[in-house]
Chains A and B, each alone.
Chain A
Amino acid sequence: DVVLTQSPLSLPVTLGQPASISCRSSQSLVHSDGNTYLNWFQQRPGQSPRRLIYKVSNRDSGVPDRFSGSGSGTDFTLKISRVEAEDVGVYYCMQGTQWPLWTFGQGTKVEIK
């Protein structure tokens, strides 16, 4: 099974400053169809998860452009260009390459300093 390792697990940030979360996979997430099915989810306190990014770098509808995803193979990054108060929560990466055995990273808690 694919193991996803996120870092850091806790990320205190200053409002207006950038933030970056890493997600490393135990094996390449490039599918035989050429796509890389790495996703990012946001879970605000007390809410359900919400998908932000799919296939590494595609933002979902309504997701602010301060969120961006990048990476390839086994190393991926979620960046928030300028953190806002509403960005507080836990962020998860998830792979869909090994469909239908989806796996999530452990989560990274973003909080305001």
Chain B
Amino acid sequence: EVQLVESGGGLVQPGGSLRLSCAASGFIFRNYWMSWVRQAPGKGLEWVASIKQDESEIYYVDSVKGRFTISRDNAKNSLYLQMNSLRGEDTAMYYCARIMVRSFDYWGQGTLVTVSS
């Protein structure tokens, strides 16, 4: 059974940093592109970042470029999102998602990031 379990969310002040993690199991992690998708409270879904199997291709939504860094450790079956210079508008539930057929076929339960003073 495919499982994606996010962790690392919490309350952080504006300008602060957080590192999110996603532990994957039930599939061969190193064979898949992976992604982070977020959802602000009461709002819709927004793709944030994606990473190729060997990290040779990485993409970000414009609003996080230069502040967020996506990475992975295939030996640990883990995906990460380093978030720096956090802003209020980054407050959201962050989901880890597997990419299949140019889409997100499995999602984690999410980890909540709140940016507030």
Q: Show the binding face of A for B, using Cβ within 8 Å.
A: 37, 39, 41, 43, 48-51, 54-55, 60, 92, 94, 96-97, 99-107
Nearest A residue to B101, CB-CB: A54
Chain B 83-117, CB-CB to A under 8 Å as 1, else 0, gives 00000000000010000011111011110000000
* Interface class of chain A by DSSP: loop
Provided the pairs A48-B95, A49-B95, A49-B107 are in contact, do residues A96 and B102 lie with their beta carbons within 8 angstroms?
Answer: yes
- Comparing B13-21, B24-32, B41-49, B72-80, the segment that makes contact with chain A is B41-49
Given A94-B45, A100-B59, A104-B44, check contact A48 B102 (CB 8 Å): no
- For B45, the chain A residues whose CB sits under 8 A away are 41, 43, 49, 92, 94, 104, 107
Q: Are A51 and B103 CB-contacts (below 8 A) given A100-B50, A100-B59, A101-B59?
A: yes
Please state if A99 and B46 are interface contacts (CB–CB under 8 Å). no
**Which residues from A are CB-within-8-Å of B44?**
92, 104-107
Contacts A92-B45, A100-B50, A103-B47; is A48 near B110 (CB within 8 Å)?
yes
Determine chain B's interface SS by DSSP, over half rule.
strand
Name B's A-contacting residues (CB within 8 A). Answer: 35, 37, 44-47, 50, 57, 59, 61, 95, 101-105, 107-110
B109 pairs with A48, CB closer than 8 A: yes
| Contact A37 B110, beta carbon cutoff 8 Å | no
User: Min CB distance, A39 to chain B, in Å?
Assistant: 5
Contact pick for B103, options A94, A101, A105, CB 8 Å: A94
In the complex, are the beta carbons of A96 and B103 less than 8 A apart?
yes
- Chain A nearest CB: distance from B52 CB in Å? 9
Q: How far is the CB of B55 from chain A (nearest CB, A)?
A: 14
Instruction: State A88–B45 Cα separation when bound (angstroms).
Output: 18
Contacts of A39 in B (CB 8 A): 103-104
In the bound assembly, the distance between CA atoms of A78 and B104 in angstroms comes to 18
B107 and A50: CB pair below 8 A?
yes
Q: Indicate the member of B105, B109, B110 with the most A CB atoms within 10 Å.
A: B105
Contact of B46 among A41, A96, A104 (CB under 8 A): A104
Show 24 A/B contacts (Cβ-Cβ < 8 Å), sorted by A.
A37-B101, A41-B45, A41-B104, A48-B95, A48-B108, A49-B45, A49-B104, A50-B107, A51-B104, A54-B103, A54-B105, A92-B44, A94-B103, A96-B102, A97-B102, A101-B61, A102-B35, A102-B47, A103-B47, A104-B44, A104-B45, A105-B44, A106-B44, A107-B45
